[in-house]
Structure 1
Amino acid sequence: MRALCVALLFLHASGSGKAAGASGAKGNRFVCTAVPAGADLSCPVEATNRVQSTSPQEEELRNTIIQLRETILQQKETIVSQQGTIKELNSKLARCEADAKSRGGARRKDYSKNTMGDLPRDPTETVEQLGKTMQSLKDRLENLEQLRANTSGGMFPNELRDLLKRRLTDLESQLLTRVAELEEEKSQLYNETTAHRQRTENTLNSLLERITELEKSNSAFKSPEDFKVSLPLRTNYLYGRIKKSLPEMYAFTVCMWLKSSASPGIGTPFSYGVPGQANEIVLIEWGNSPMELLVNDKVAQLPLSVSDGRWHHICITWTTRDGFWEAYQDGERLGTGENLAPWHPIKPGGVIILGQEQDIVGGRFDATQAFVGELSHFNMWDRVLRPIDISAMANCSAYMPGNVVPWVDANVEVFGGATKAALEICEDRLFDS
């Protein structure tokens, strides 16, 4: 390059001298100046352009510069694309974390909901898809690093590579945590399903045993009404329950067979309680008091005596008009009265209990008021029966099931050790006689 510059100067001086000589003018002077070692000795572009036209080397350099510029643009596009991928991954991760927080500590999860964007619904498929996602992210990072290695001039920034590595590490850690959570949820769901299946099987077995017991009890009775309920102890947990309730009534007749030798007093053969009035209808013989009939917690004393240990047929009638009542024992009317809760309708929707007096509807029994003995053919009508009909039932010459509450095996439940047993009441009564 120094030789080229000197030659150019020489040519320029020669040309100038000739021009000066020809014209008679004075020639130009050239002053040589010392140049420090290492200084740029290249000729100015203008001087070079004066000497020769564009060389092939310059054209090659220009093409190289253009290629480098295109490479820079491509690298910028790649960086923008990778930043978009990172934003997409962050968005999916945010949705996953928000879904995990919204479901909190719930033990059972709804796998029908898509909780991670494009992840599958089943826990096993979710685990496999998470693994594929992590591998895809690793492949992307390796491609970016390979692209950087093949690009001249170091156009791919180290900061972006480090950022991608950190994000990939974070995502891998979070995905592994999510996989562990899904595995735990899957295990919990399996345990809960097993426990629920076991509870269901136990319930079904209990029902089957109960059905078997009912079938055996039904097969033991010659007819649905030929049975008795036994309440052998004075407790607050032995009792029977009528499954049917009562409608609203303005009169009733209730009849039953009783056998008891309890002292003092046989207790409470039956009680009917409704919300707000536990003593809607009660028949009770408590302590040394005579037998009493309660209607809407109003009391009438009955001239009945059944504590001799034999079977007795008892019937009680009542009508809301003037509160008139009648008491029958073994087909004979022994007493009447009036002004027992007059003009009061019997309320519907209550509970009929055999053997216990109710302090609240269906419960809170008092052992001192419990019936001790046996009871059968409890029937109830929503009208006052004729004396001839009552006498016929007491003499075993006719049987009339109650139109409101009939005495049938399927209609009576027993609890606390009370039992049901076969009984042909008329034959047993004749044997007692």
Structure 2
Amino acid sequence: MRALCVALLFLHASGSGKAAGASGAKGNRFVCTAVPAGADLSCPVEATNRVQSTSPQEEELRNTIIQLRETILQQKETIVSQQGTIKELNSKLARCEADAKSRGGARRKDYSKNTMGDLPRDPTETVEQLGKTMQSLKDRLENLEQQLRANTSGGMFPNELRDLLKRRLTDLESQLLTRVAELEEEKSQLYNETTAHRQRTENTLNSLLERITELEKSNSAFKSPEDFKVSLPLRTNYLYGRIKKSLPEMYAFTVCMWLKSSASPGIGTPFSYGVPGQANEIVLIEWGNSPMELLVNDKVAQLPLSVSDGRWHHICITWTTRDGFWEAYQDGERLGTGENLAPWHPIKPGGVIILGQEQDIVGGRFDATQAFVGELSHFNMWDRVLRPIDISAMANCSAYMPGNVVPWVDANVEVFGGATKAALEICEDRLFDS
């Protein structure tokens, strides 16, 4: 401490002396005296205060230096923060572009597939969501640019970094606007493609509806409900027609129809009626080389009819439970009679009438060898025996009598397995055959 004090005094004296010598004044003299042992060696207070005292200019410079140092530290932190923001924006922009490319590649494959992370699956919502995201990025860029301008206006931001950030912000804004425009264009294309697809679908549906309507009209475009025929062109076990109505309990019947067939051997089974417990309740069949037969309750009567010449023929069969008496008519002429065919047996109700097949169980289990091959029309059934004059009038096309139990009408006949219904005016077609 003593050496420091003496040195400061010496320096002060030397400085004062030099200053005084330079100005021509006399310098002060200092006398060094001995210090007794044990004396206080600390510097005098006055001398210390003289050494520590500084001028106002020095104090101002010191404060300026401190402020500059703090300013530099703050600017450094600002630069680091803004560089991090720029990196974050660059990363988001890159992800945006990658998502857009990924979406563009997958859009044509599957519109319902989610190719944009947690974005909506609908293309319109995806475009809107991307537009919102890009607008948010643009707002953040504008805020950053305003901050940069505020900083640069105070002269506290390096010119090079300021220009770099301005260029980068301009590029980002340009890229964002370009991407938004591309997405808007894709949205428009998606809308156009969806509209075109919907239009094609509607056109296809309209064409199908028109075709269905035409087919319905062709099936029901008969001049009258009874002017149609059922065609069974093949001997199979799956082509047949079905009468929707069933029979009540009957003690007599007359069944008439027009037939056209050239099948050999035998035309097959024009119709059959089966009930639970008796599949052969009523059957008309010509099987193999046997003559045509009428079955009632599985009892058989042979009929003297021949209709396999490929022409239209009108046939009628009558039967009554009293003595089992029957009659057979062809083209209005009675060709045979008989009796004792299931006498006193009432026809059971609730069965199924099949055209073109013989039933082994009610409504099914058909045998192709017994199938009817040809065309059939005007199948009518009554619950009584018709007079010969009425049968002749129908065969000569001078009168028409629909059956009171089963009338021949379009709505009453179904076809299956490839059997068809077509328009037919039987009397005109019969005249053409003759």
RMSD: 11.0
* Higher gyration radius (CA): 2
The aligned residue for residue 201 of structure 2 is 200
Per mean C-alpha deviation after superposition, the further-off stretch among 39-48 and 122-131 is 39-48
Q: Which runs of 5+ in 2 are unaligned?
A: none
Per the normalisation by structure 2, the TM-score is: 0.52
What is the CA deviation profile of residues 286-334 of structure 1, one whole-angstrom value per residue up to 9, with x for unaligned ones? 0000000000000000000000000000000000111000000000000
Q: Answer yes or no: is 1:361 the counterpart of 2:370.
A: no
Residues 121 and 107 from structure 1, CA distance in 2 versus in 1: closer, same or farther, beyond 3 angstroms? closer
Pair 204,49 (structure 1): closer, same or farther in 2 beyond 3 Å: same
Contact 1:95 1:115 in 2 (8 A): no
Deviations 1:326-363 (A, max 9, x none): 00000000000001011111111111000000000000
* Bigger mean CA offset, 13-22 vs 83-92: 13-22
Higher mean Cα deviation, 61-70 or 406-415? 61-70
Q: Residue 426 and residue 178 in structure 1: after superposition, are their counterparts in 2 closer, same or farther (change >3 A)?
A: same
Alpha-carbon distance change, 230 to 122 in structure 1, aligned in 2, over 3 angstroms: closer
Deviation at 1:215, TM superposition (A): 3.2
Contact persistence 1:108–1:189 (CA under 8 A): no
Q: 1: distance between equivalents of 2:262 and 2:173?
A: 84
Structure 1 unaligned residues grouped into runs of 5+: none
- Aligned residues, how many? 433
1:4-62 Cα distance to aligned partner (Å, 9 max, x none): 99999999999999999999999999999999999999999999999999999999999
CA distance in 1, matches of 2:40, 2:324: 135
Aligned CA distance change for structure 1 residues 13 and 52 (closer, same or farther; 3 Å) = same
2:405 aligns to what? 404
Match of 1:425 in 2: 426
Distance change >3 Å, CA 131–CA 21, structure 1 → 2: closer
Q: Structure 1's 17 and 268: CA in aligned 2 closer, same or farther, altered over 3 A? A: same
CA, structure 1 residues 425+188, in 2 after alignment: closer, same or farther (shift >3 Å)? same
Q: 1:96 to 1:12 in 2, by over 3 A?
A: closer
Change in Cα spacing, 1:276 to 1:109, as seen in structure 2 (3 Å) is farther
Q: Larger deviation: 37-46 or 135-144? A: 37-46
In the alignment, the residues of structure 2 paired with residue 290 and residue 350 of structure 1 have an alpha-carbon distance, to the nearest angstrom, of 26
Deviations 1:269-288 (A, max 9, x none): 00000111000000000000
Once the two structures are superposed, what CA deviation does each residue of 1:376-414 show, in whole Å capped at 9, x if it has no partner?
Answer: 000000000000000000000000000000001111111
Query: Does the 8 A contact of 2:134 with 2:180 survive in 1?
Result: no
- Residue 107 of structure 2 aligns to a residue whose secondary structure is coil
Q: 1:82 to 1:328 in 2, by over 3 A?
A: farther
TM-score by length of 1: 0.53
Contact 2:219/2:422 (<8 A) preserved: no
Pair 398,141 (structure 1): closer, same or farther in 2 beyond 3 Å: same
SS in 1 for 2:26: coil
Contact 1:258 1:375 in 2 (8 A): yes
Q: Which region of structure 1 is more displaced relative to structure 2, 172-181 or 313-322?
A: 172-181
- 1:191 correspondence with 2:188: no
Contact 2:131/2:180, CA 8 A, preserved across alignment: no
How far 1:220 sits from its partner (Å)?
A: 2.4
Q: Shift of the alpha carbon at 1:178? A: 44
> Is the 2:351–2:362 contact (alpha carbons within 8 Å) kept by the matching residues of 1?
yes
- What is the distance in 2 between the residues matched to 1:249 and 1:387? 20
> 1:92–1:116: 8 Å Cα contact kept in structure 2?
no
> Is the CA contact 1:107–1:185 (under 8 Å) kept in the aligned structure 2?
no
With over 3 angstroms needed to count, the CA separation of the structure-2 counterparts of 1:190 and 1:52, relative to structure 1, is: closer
Deviates more, 1:59-68 or 1:183-192: 59-68
Would you say the 8 A contact 1:236–1:365 is kept in 2? yes
The more displaced of 107-116 and 57-66 is: 57-66
Q: Which moved more, 1:225-234 or 1:83-92?
A: 83-92
Worse-matched range after superposition: 53-62 or 324-333: 53-62
Structure 2 counterpart of 1:131: 131
Query: How big is the shift at 1:221?
Result: 1.0
